[in-house]
Structure 1
C-alpha cells in the first residue's frame, strides 16, 4: 500500500506533486520521493519520513521541470532504509524514473532471469526496482532511437507477461514522456485526471481521486485492468488496453480501510461504500443479535466512523465519539513492527470516561487484522468502567495473507487464523464479536457502483485472483515477511547506517 502521483504540466509541477502526495500520506508514512524532468535532466529528492520531513523549501526549489512523479512508501517487506525509497532510476535505455504501488508474486523468477538473461543489476530488495528493470529491458529490446506510443505499449505488454501480481505504475522516460499503467486484474487503484491551464491541458495520474481534487484536476476515469496511458513530450496523449487483461477485480480492502472516504475508486464512492457497510451490519445485528443490551455505539477512529454512525442510526442507539485521536501518531496498521504498533495505540487514542462508565458498549472497527489494536482498546474500554464490551467489524475475519501490496503477509500474525469467532472474541477480550458477512461486504461496493461485481477477496477467503499463489509460495513469504524477519532486517539496516556514518 503505497501512494503514487504523476503530473504532466505546462508550469513547474513540484508543488502540485507535493500537494497531491499530502493527500496520499495515509497510504505510506515510511518514506517519500519526488522526481522531475527539466532540460534533459532528472532531479530527484527522496528520504525516510513523512513528506513534510523529507521536503523543505531548499530541496523543493531544486525540483525543476513541468513533468514529475512522486511516491509515498510504507514497507510491505524488507527494511525501511532510504535505499528502498522511490522513485527509482536507471540510466539505460534513455533514462527512466519509476514509482510503483503493489507487489509482485513471481519476483524470485524475474530476478533470476534479470541476472541470467537480461544481464541487469539490482541494487535493492524492492520488487519495484525489479519491475523497473523489466520495463527498461523491454524498452531496450525495441531498439528505437526515439520511442513512439507503439514502442511504449509493446514494452508494457512485456511487463504484463513477465510480472504477476498487483501493481500500479507511473514512470518518466527522458526526452520521451510519461507512462502509467495498471495490473491485468485492476487490483491496485489508479486514476487519471485533467485540468485546463492557460488554454492547455495538463494531466495527472494518481492512486486516489483526492490527489486530483486538491490541485483542481477533474477525474476522467480509473485506468482499466491492463490499461496504459502514454503522454509524449509534446503533451499528446495515447492509451491502450492490453489484450491480456482480465475482468476488473479491485482489492476489497481498499474500500474497508486503505482509501480515504472522500475518494472515488473504480466508480464507487468510498464514503457511500462505508455507509452501506454500516447498513448491512445493522441489519445483521437486528436479525441475529437483537438480544444484546447495547447502550452506546463507539467507533474506533477514524476509518470506522461512517459505518458506526449508520449502525447507530439504524438501531436507534446513541452514537459517541469517545476515543480522541492524537493526529500526530501515524496509522498503527502500517507501522513496521508489532512492538511499535502496540506501543503507539495508547498514544494514538485516549478515552473519554463518561461515555463508558456503567454502559454496555459496542465498539465498531473497520477490520481486525493482527488484533493488537482491538485488544488494547477493549482493555481501555473495560478500564473506563464499561459493563460489557461488544465488538463489531465492518469486514469479515482476515484469515489469509495479502500478496498484492498490503502489509499482512504472515498468516501466523493474523489473529483470526485457526480460530472460531467465539475463540477470537475471547482472545481479544470481548463479550461478543460480530463480523460483516463477505457477501454483504461485496454488495456494499456493488450497490455504490453496479458495474463492480468482482473483487480480490483473498485476505478473507484465500481466493487469489491472479491464480498463481501456492501454499509453497505463502510459506516462503511468511518466513521472509513476519515481524521477526522485519526486526532482524531493521537491526541490520540500523547497524549499516551507523557504520556508514563512521566511515
Structure 2
C-alpha cells in the first residue's frame, strides 16, 4: 500500500514443555524459549510499531520469590529496547562472574528464565501511545491463580456496554478502554472460579495451603472464557497467562482476527501468522494450525494442551483485507491469493488499454503490490498467448517469417517505474512534515516510457485515502510524460470503516466516500446526506442488534464505475498532463481470490457483528457533525 495505514497488533506465546536443562543440553542455551519469542516478535514487526511488551512466568519458585516479570516499551525500536532490558540481567550476571551453567541459580535469580512467555506488538487503535496502554496488561494478586496477564490483537465495538457491566458488578475501572474492560471481565470470572473452587475444597476439609495447588490443578479456564467473552462484540485473538502457569489464546466466533499454533513435545508456540511460526520453528505449513473461530487453545500448568469452544461459532468472516495487505506474503495461501487478485484484473485492464499492449508499460507500486503484479502479468500473458494463436491460425499457413517473428516476439513491457525510498519513509512521522516530504517518498525510472504515446499501468494493493497517490505518485509518474496513467487497485473500493483492529475508522478519510459525496452534489442529490443522517440519529439509542447500516444508501445511487471515475478526478494532481484513470477490483473477484476469508465489510458494508452497523452509523454522524473522533 502506498499510504500510511497502520497495522493491527501481533501476539506471540511460548510454553516450554521441558526443563531449562533440556534446552541447555540440546540447543546449547537455556534461553531457547526467549530466543524464539524474540524471533516471533521481530517477524511480526509489521503488525505494530507503537510499542512492545514481554511477560515471563516461572512456575516452580518458592513463596517470596518473584515469579512474574514484565517489561514494556514505547521507544522508537520497542522490540530491541524490550529485549535489551531482558538481556541486561544476563550480562550483569556474566560480568559479576556468575556461573550461568548453574541452571538452578539462573532459574531463581534471572528474571526472564521461565517456562512461559507472552509477547505483544502494539498499534494503538484505542487510547494514546503511553506505556499504560501497551500490552501485556496485568491484574496482580497474592494468589497466583488469581493473577492475570492479557495481550491481544483486538478491538471491541461495544466497550460502552462492557464498561457499564463492570460498573454494575460493583467495579470501578481505572480507564475507559477495550483493553481494561477485557482484562477486568476475564479477571472477574477468574476470581469467581477461584472462589468457587475454594469453597468446594474447603467444604471437603482441605486446609488453605492445600487448597491453592488444588485450585491451580483444576481451574476451569474454558468456563472463565465462556463467561467473560459472552458479551464481546468485535474481532479478537486474546492471549492470556495465569500466574500459576495456565495459558490460553481465544479467537472471536467469526474468525475475524487470526491466530495460529504449533505443538511438539518440547514447545507450544502461538502467533498471529502462520509463516512466522514456520520460519522461526523451521516446520512445514501443515504442522501449523489455526485456532478455530470461537475456540480457545488452553495450555495447563502440567503442559497438556487442548482446544475448547468458548463461543458458539458463527459463519466464518475472517478479514479479507488481512489477506490483501496486512499478512506476510510469504504464507503459501496468501501468496497465491494475492497473485489471483492480480490475475483476475487482467481482462478489465486489457479492455481499459484497448488491448494495445505494444504501447503500454506495466509496473507496480512497491512493496506489497508486487505479488499481485506477478498475477496481473500472468493474466496479460495468458491473453497474449490466445491472441498469438489466433493470429497464426488466421494466416492459414501463409505467414511470412517476419510476421511470425513479430507475433511471437510481442510481449508486455514490464518495467520497475516507482522506487520507494525506505529511509525517507521512516523519517516521515507527523502530518505537517508528511505534507512537505511525501512527494519525495518515491523515485521514478526515466527513459523507459515513450513520451506522449505510452499508457502507464501501475498496480497498488489498495487505495484507501489516496493522499500519497495525489501528492506523490501521480506527480512523479507524470514527469515521464505518458499519454495516460491507469492506477489499478487489487482491492475493491474501501467504502466503510473498520472496527475490529485496523486503523480505518473515519469515513471522511476514504477517497471512495468523498467521491460519492461529490457525485451527490454533482447530481443535485445532496438531500440524501440529511436523510441518511436523520435515519442514523434515530437509531442512536437502539440496541446494536437492531441498528441498520443506512450508509449503504449513499453508495447505491451510483455504479462502481461512476465512483471510480470521480475518484480519478479527485486524485488527479493540479497540472498533471496525463489522462488519469483508476480501476478497482470487484467484490466478486475478491471472493474468488480469497474464498475462505469472506469478511468484506470494508467494501460491502456487511459487518459480521451487530456492533459494526453501530460503528458505521456513528461514523457517518460524526462526518456530518464535523467530529473526527473515534466512532466506537
The answer to whether TM tops 0.5 is: yes
Per the TM alignment, residue 467 of structure 1 is displaced from its structure 2 partner at its CA by 2.6
Alignment-derived partner of residue 272 in structure 2: 207
Alignment-derived partner of residue 312 in structure 1: 377
Alignment-derived partner of residue 132 in structure 1: 183
The 1:129/1:208 distance shift into structure 2, 3 A limit, reads same
Per the TM alignment, residue 194 of structure 1 is displaced from its structure 2 partner at its CA by 2.4
For residue 167 of structure 2, give the secondary structure of its aligned residue in structure 1.
Answer: helix
CA distance in 1, matches of 2:36, 2:160: 36
For residue 38 of structure 2, give the secondary structure of its aligned residue in structure 1.
Answer: helix
The 1:433/1:104 distance shift into structure 2, 3 A limit, reads same
For residue 500 of structure 2, give the secondary structure of its aligned residue in structure 1.
Answer: coil
Report which stretch shifted further, 101-110 or 357-366: 357-366
Contact kept? 1:356, 1:381, Cα under 8 Å: no
The 1:30/1:109 distance shift into structure 2, 3 A limit, reads same
CA distance in 2, matches of 1:393, 1:457: 15
Alignment-derived partner of residue 449 in structure 1: none
Alignment-derived partner of residue 90 in structure 1: 139
Q: Among 47, 53, 68, which residue is 1:33 paired with?
A: 53
Report which stretch shifted further, 456-465 or 282-291: 282-291
More helix by share: 2
CA distance in 1, matches of 2:297, 2:174: 26
Per the TM alignment, residue 371 of structure 1 is displaced from its structure 2 partner at its CA by 1.2
Structure 2 counterparts to residues 53-452 of structure 1, below 5 A: 53-62=80-89, 63-92=112-141, 94-123=146-175, 125-143=176-194, 144=197, 145=212, 146-147=215-216, 151-195=220-264, 200-216=265-281, 218=283, 219-242=287-310, 244-263=312-331, 269-287=333-351, 290=354, 295-316=360-381, 317-328=412-423, 339=432, 342=435, 345-346=438-439, 348-356=441-449, 358=451, 359-375=454-470, 376-417=472-513, 418-419=515-516, 420-429=563-572, 431-446=580-595, 452=596
For residue 181 of structure 2, give the secondary structure of its aligned residue in structure 1.
Answer: helix
For residue 469 of structure 1, give the secondary structure of its aligned residue in structure 2.
Answer: helix
* CA deviations over 1:72-113 (Å, ceiling 9, x no partner): 111223322222111111114621111110210111111122
TM-score under structure 2 normalisation? Answer: 0.69
TM-score under structure 1 normalisation? Answer: 0.86
CA distance in 1, matches of 2:188, 2:346: 53
For residue 413 of structure 2, give the secondary structure of its aligned residue in structure 1.
Answer: coil
Count of aligned pairs: 468
CA distance in 1, matches of 2:166, 2:429: 29
Report which stretch shifted further, 253-262 or 168-177: 168-177
Alignment-derived partner of residue 499 in structure 1: none
Root-mean-square deviation (CA, aligned residues, Å) is: 2.7
The 1:441/1:377 distance shift into structure 2, 3 A limit, reads same
Alignment-derived partner of residue 104 in structure 2: none
* CA deviations over 1:405-463 (Å, ceiling 9, x no partner): 110001111111052111101111161111100010111012xxxxx2x6211110111
Q: Among 596, 599, 610, which residue is 1:456 paired with?
A: 599
Per the TM alignment, residue 184 of structure 1 is displaced from its structure 2 partner at its CA by 0.8
More strand by share: 1
For residue 215 of structure 1, give the secondary structure of its aligned residue in structure 2.
Answer: helix
CA distance in 1, matches of 2:88, 2:477: 48
The 1:87/1:403 distance shift into structure 2, 3 A limit, reads same
Contact kept? 1:193, 1:217, Cα under 8 Å: no
CA distance in 1, matches of 2:565, 2:178: 39
* CA deviations over 1:102-139 (Å, ceiling 9, x no partner): 2101111111221331515234x541232121111111
Structure number with larger C-alpha Rg: 2
Contact kept? 1:27, 1:72, Cα under 8 Å: yes
Per the TM alignment, residue 471 of structure 1 is displaced from its structure 2 partner at its CA by 4.6
Alignment-derived partner of residue 14 in structure 2: 7
Contact kept? 1:77, 1:407, Cα under 8 Å: no
Per the TM alignment, residue 58 of structure 1 is displaced from its structure 2 partner at its CA by 3.9
Contact kept? 1:248, 1:455, Cα under 8 Å: yes
CA distance in 2, matches of 1:15, 1:357: 52
The 1:338/1:478 distance shift into structure 2, 3 A limit, reads farther
Unaligned residue ranges in structure 2 (runs of 5+): 1-7, 21-30, 90-111, 198-211, 382-411, 517-562, 573-578
Unaligned residue ranges in structure 1 (runs of 5+): 447-451, 487-503
CA distance in 1, matches of 2:423, 2:302: 42
Contact kept? 2:277, 2:288, Cα under 8 Å: no
Per the TM alignment, residue 479 of structure 1 is displaced from its structure 2 partner at its CA by 4.9
Q: Among 611, 615, 618, which residue is 1:468 paired with?
A: 611
CA distance in 1, matches of 2:79, 2:440: 21
Alignment-derived partner of residue 495 in structure 1: none
For residue 39 of structure 2, give the secondary structure of its aligned residue in structure 1.
Answer: helix
Per the TM alignment, residue 477 of structure 1 is displaced from its structure 2 partner at its CA by 8.9
Alignment-derived partner of residue 493 in structure 1: none
For residue 414 of structure 2, give the secondary structure of its aligned residue in structure 1.
Answer: coil
For residue 470 of structure 1, give the secondary structure of its aligned residue in structure 2.
Answer: helix
